Structure formats: C-alpha cells, structure tokens
C-alpha cells in the first residue's frame, strides 16, 4: 500500500491523499473525474469498480446524544451533547476501486455542488457504475451527466424526495395502503408520530 500511496502522491499531489484506518482515499475535483478515473484504470490498473455511493455530510460530526459503552458490556449511558458541522461541502460521490492484477484497493471521492449536485457518469469507464449511479440518484438526488438511463431504481416512480438525505424525515412524507373499494394503492399523509432513533436513557 505504501508503494501505491507514493505513486498516487506523485500523480495527484500529497494534499489529495488520505491514509487512514489502513485505507487510501483519493479526493479529486468534480471537473476532473473522467480524466482521473481513466488514469486510475489505465495507468494504475484499477480495472474493477466494486461500489459507488452517495454521501451526505449534513450534520457530520454532530450528535444529539453521546453514547458511552459500559465496561460490563451491559447497557449504554447516553448523555445530551451538542456539536458543530465539521464539513464544508454537503454531498460527495465515493468510488471503491479494485486492481485485480495488483490486489490494490482505493477509495476515490469527489464533492459535488449542493444546490445542483451533478457529476459526469463513469459508465463509459466501468460499466458496473450503471445501477450504482441510478441508486445514488434515487436516494441522494445526485445527477450523473450523460448517463443513458438515469431514473429511479429503488423507490416508486411517483416518489417525492430522496430518502437517504439526512434532512429527509425518517417517517417519510406519505404512507400507502391498498384500498379494497378503489382496487388500488392509495397514498395518504403520514399518520405516525416522529420518533428519535436514539434511546434517551441514562443508565448507571
């Protein structure tokens, strides 16, 4: 991995490489994504795209409740805490690459504009990106320019919003049920109360 790190620094610059938790992450500018990915495929032999996903950094580093595991392994005490946003840009696209030939792995990250999250498709470089990009579009609202079939893949055609964005309500916007009389699915306003996912329990 050290050899790969040195080669990447020489090609992309030291400020763009993060070495943490035994993994390398290369951050590239959104406008350079095609050029960078072609270089990674052809020069560094990253022939396989293992995964591609969207990332939402909204409230990154913030937490309403701080969890401390007990030494006995029983319960966890949670205490209220605050936090500040520790990230400048909200959305990113992460690509996880594999070089079968060299047995190298690399994460590539590109930040996109929050107001209009858009990035060039890499389906022409790795065909496997097709459905991954559709999923990132569906769940995060990230647009992949020049994708030949960019449409929702997991949610319904009439679905409003992008459910993996952190500001999307956990209870959703609408609920659906099958109406026997109408003989079809009916959408209605959500009837359940919003709930906090973290238990507000402080144990000794």
Q: Which letter does DSSP use for residue 32 in this model?
A: G
Residue 40, exposed/middle/buried by CB under 10 A (0-12, 13-18, 19+)? Answer: buried
Q: Token pair for residue 150?
A: 């960019």
Q: Long-range contacts of range 29-36, CB-CB < 8 Å, 24 or more positions apart?
A: 29/110, 30/110, 30/111, 30/112, 30/113, 30/119, 33/110, 33/119, 33/120, 33/122, 34/120, 34/122, 34/125, 36/12, 36/108
Residue 73 bridge partners (DSSP)? none
pLDDT in tens, 101-155: 999 999 999 999 999 999 999 999 999 999 999 999 999 999 999 999 999 999 9
CATH entry 3.40.1160.10 includes domain 1-157: no
**What's the CA gap between 95 and 53, in Å, rounded?**
7
pTM metric for this prediction: 0.81
* Residue carrying structure tokens 């769940």: 139
**What's the CA gap between 42 and 101, in Å, rounded?**
12
**What's the CA gap between 168 and 80, in Å, rounded?**
23
Residue 42, exposed/middle/buried by CB under 10 A (0-12, 13-18, 19+)? Answer: exposed
pLDDT in single tens digits along all 204 residues of the chain: 899 999 999 999 999 999 999 999 999 999 999 999 999 999 999 999 999 999 999 988 776 555 555 445 444 455 555 556 567 899 999 999 999 999 999 999 999 999 999 999 999 999 999 999 999 999 999 999 999 999 999 998 778 889 999 998 888 888 888 999 999 988 888 888 776 665 555 555
**H-helix or E-strand containing 178?**
strand 174-179
């Amino acid at each position: 991995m050290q050899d790969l790190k040195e080669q990447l620094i020489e090609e992309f610059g030291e400020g763009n490489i993060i070495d943490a938790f035994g993994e390398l992450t290369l951050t590239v500018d959104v406008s350079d994504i095609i050029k960078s990915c072609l270089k990674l495929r052809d020069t560094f032999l990253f022939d396989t795209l293992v995964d591609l996903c969207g990332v939402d950094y909204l409230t990154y580093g913030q937490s309403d409740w701080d969890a401390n595991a007990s030494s006995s392994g029983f319960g966890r005490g949670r205490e209220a805490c605050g936090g500040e946003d520790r990230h400048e840009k909200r959305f990113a696209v992460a690509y996880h690459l594999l070089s079968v030939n060299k047995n190298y792995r690399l994460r590539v990250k590109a930040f996109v504009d929050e107001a209009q999250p858009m990035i060039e498709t890499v389906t022409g470089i790795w065909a496997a990106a097709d459905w991954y990009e559709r999923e990132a579009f569906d769940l995060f609202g990230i647009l992949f320019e020049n994708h030949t079939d960019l449409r929702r893949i997991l949610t319904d055609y009439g679905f409003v919003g992008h459910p993996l964005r952190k500001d999307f309500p956990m209870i959703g916007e609408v609920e659906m049920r099958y109406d026997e009389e109408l003989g079809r699915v009916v959408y209605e306003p959500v009837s359940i109360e919003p709930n906090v996912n973290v238990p507000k329990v402080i144990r000794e």
